[in-house]
Structure 1
Amino acid sequence: MSEILKKLSGQGVSIWLDDISRERLRTGNLQSLITDRQVVGVTSNPTIFASALSKGDAYDGQLHDLKIRGVDVEEAVRAITTYDIRWAADVLRPVFDASGQVDGRVSIEVDPRLSKDTDKTVAEARALWWLVDRPNLFIKIPATVEGLPAITQAISEGISVNVTLIFSLERYRAVMDAWLTGLEQAKANGLDLANIESVASFFVSRVDGEIDKRLDKIGTPEALALRGKAAIANARLAFAAFEEVVASPRWQALAEAGARPQRPLWASTGTKNPDYPDTLYVDELVTSGTVNTMPEKTLDATADHGKIAGDTVRSSYEEAWNTMAALKEAGIDYDDVVSFLERDGLSKFEASWTELLETVSSELKKA
């Protein structure tokens, strides 16, 4: 067992794996990560499934049966992905029970092509919730403007939600408002709030990726000195916003009724710039009550040489605000950056979904 990962977990950070495959499940690899690497949750996305399908023979039997049944590609995708999600949820069920239903969670994404349609997103969330039928499931809904009322509606019906693709502080506050409204409606509907969980996935490395490009283009010494600082500052200020909300009377009333906080989740934590430490977005975002979902490469790097030196968030708000002010002074338009990142993220989500459909179609033909 990695002592570094144990230390990170001891700081109150839930370690989730940003990957899933049937090969991991059937070989017991996921269970090993739970036992040896402190992994207490799993996130998935279409690219992860497409990659898993293209390797090995783990899906051959199901693909063969789906082909014989003559199902279309969309139905085949749902059959394949929900099978893995159910299996992973069952592997993680002991963690779910031991953590009081907080961790042990597995996330599956709504079709990203629906991200601009509230009603279709809600219908898809309901369908996935019914199809997987596991209490430790999260339905991933993008934090688009149209996604906000879908988040509220899903939570009001008792569906646990992983809100994904959050970049801006303003949108994050809107996400928290949508979550609180959903809980208030669930309470009015007589639901047990203790059974409704949510996380808010704040994307990290992509912020540096875009802002660094803009800083390089500006090219002044002041601009270049800010490279690699925006993403961590942005995430730390997101946690400050979270703390404000959970200190509010509105939240306290829900907490007294049994609700639990919508934990901030650090997503996109693999370091894309080789000049930066490969554990940067783990080491610098340590604080209790958060989730860090890591690609296995980042998980292994953290286990090997992560620098976990206590809380690195709560005492850094002033520094984070100063960084954001310096970025603005250097010529960075924050609103334009986060708007671009959302559009780009949605485009990548849709491309990933298309890739998954094409992969399943190809594999069905070979089955």
Structure 2
Amino acid sequence: MATTNPRIKALSDVGVSIWLDDLNRPMIGSGDLQKLIDEQDVVGVTTNPTIFASALKDGTAYNEQVKQLADQGAGVDDAVFAITTEDVRNACDVMRPVYDATDGQDGRVSIEVDPRLAHETQKTVEMAKQLWQTVDRPNVMIKIPATVEGLPAITQVLAEGISVNVTLIFSLERYRGVMNAFLTGLEQAREAGKELPSIRSVASFFVSRVDSEIDKRLDAIGSDEAKALKGKAGVANARLAYQAYEEVFGTPRWQTLADDGAHTQRPLWASTGVKDPAYPDTMYVVELAAPDTVNTMPPKTLEALADHGEVKGDAVTGSYDDAKTVLDQLEQLGVSYADVVAVLETEGVEKFEKSWDELLASVEGELTTAGGNADYATQEA
């Protein structure tokens, strides 16, 4: 875990855990994941339906398992579950030394609950437990979306002693709801006699998608004032989220949990690959460097950081007034923050559902090709 790259080391030295937003079977088997751990200070992995859908389309790494599943007459949902949990279990094993060395803070691999359940609390809880039991590794994290229905699911899953990666957070108000769900979950876990030090959580705040949506609206306004605000909202929003994190984890309510060994729910910056080529490709890494955070990067962003990223220390603490000014100026121009984050959450769930459908279709095709049963109709989740 000791990189020789000075740019990556500079980010780690600020207190940022570098996680990779990518996973596929060849990466695990070839030693490429281990190489990223050794050379690029990668200390965690996140997955999502889009990543798995892409992995299944490429190469032949999954053929043998698909053939076995087809021979067993597995339905497409069961096949997807088996394929994805195997990849995550194997990645957990590669990451286990990092998990041990960091006392469980890092060395984590995240796997997502079926996004079609994003608005169903109890089914989300049930699938989260099933994923946890099936992967059967202490360093797995179960991803649950921060929808209104997801919040009570987050509490219930944490109360079971299961580590959770809360995903698809866009708004500051929802983020406060997520932190409340986390604290409530830990309080319930303590009442149930669970060991709090073993429960870990991160809150994944999406960044680049905020700029994509707001920039589109600023372009439509078209004034010089609007153009001057392009590319500023994503970072400003995330910086204000960090302010909220500092506030909540400075309260007496939190302190009573910390006294029993609980760990904070670290902010995780997600969607950190820039969507607009006009922006620096390391913008969402360098400008969000802060202690006790995670930045999960797609491979291209990690490569850009290693090649030319200029980390200048903590870029977040104390930036809150400027960040608030950005959001205030957007409101004055008629860009509704409330509408933007509502649109992004709806689209975020829809995008993951679409990727999940692509994953199901891909596996269904593979099962059919492998000579399994003719009927691979999607089972009810």
TM-score by length of 1: 0.99
Partner residue of 2:15? 12
Partner residue of 1:174? 177
Q: Tell whether 2:135 aligns with 1:119.
A: no
Partner residue of 1:107? 110
Q: Of 148, 153, 160, which residue of structure 2 is paired with 1:150? A: 153
Partner residue of 2:270? 267
Please, which moves more after superposition, 49-58 or 114-123?
49-58
CA distance in structure 1 between the partners assigned to 2:50 and 2:349 by the alignment: 13
Count of aligned pairs: 367
Q: Tell whether 2:199 aligns with 1:193.
A: no
CA distance in structure 2 between the partners assigned to 1:234 and 1:302 by the alignment: 22
Partner residue of 1:139? 142
CA distance in structure 1 between the partners assigned to 2:239 and 2:311 by the alignment: 16
Q: How does 1:1-367 map to 2 (within 5 A)?
A: 1-367=4-370
CA distance in structure 1 between the partners assigned to 2:321 and 2:141 by the alignment: 33
CA distance in structure 2 between the partners assigned to 1:315 and 1:305 by the alignment: 25
Letter matched to residue 87 of structure 2: D
CA distance in structure 2 between the partners assigned to 1:106 and 1:362 by the alignment: 27
Please, which moves more after superposition, 49-58 or 254-263?
49-58
How big is each residue's C-alpha offset from its partner over 1:59-91, in whole Å with a ceiling of 9 and x where there is no partner?
111111111111000000001000000000000
How big is each residue's C-alpha offset from its partner over 1:113-133, in whole Å with a ceiling of 9 and x where there is no partner?
111110000001011011101
Percentage of pairs with the same residue = 62
Letter matched to residue 288 of structure 2: L
Q: CA deviation at 1:262?
A: 0.1
How big is each residue's C-alpha offset from its partner over 1:301-341, in whole Å with a ceiling of 9 and x where there is no partner?
01000010010000211110111111111111000000000
Q: Which ranges of structure 1 fall in alignment gaps of 5 or more residues?
A: none
Q: CA deviation at 1:50?
A: 1.4
CA distance in structure 2 between the partners assigned to 1:21 and 1:324 by the alignment: 38
Letter matched to residue 226 of structure 1: L
Q: Which ranges of structure 2 fall in alignment gaps of 5 or more residues?
A: 371-381
Letter matched to residue 138 of structure 1: M
TM-score by length of 2: 0.96
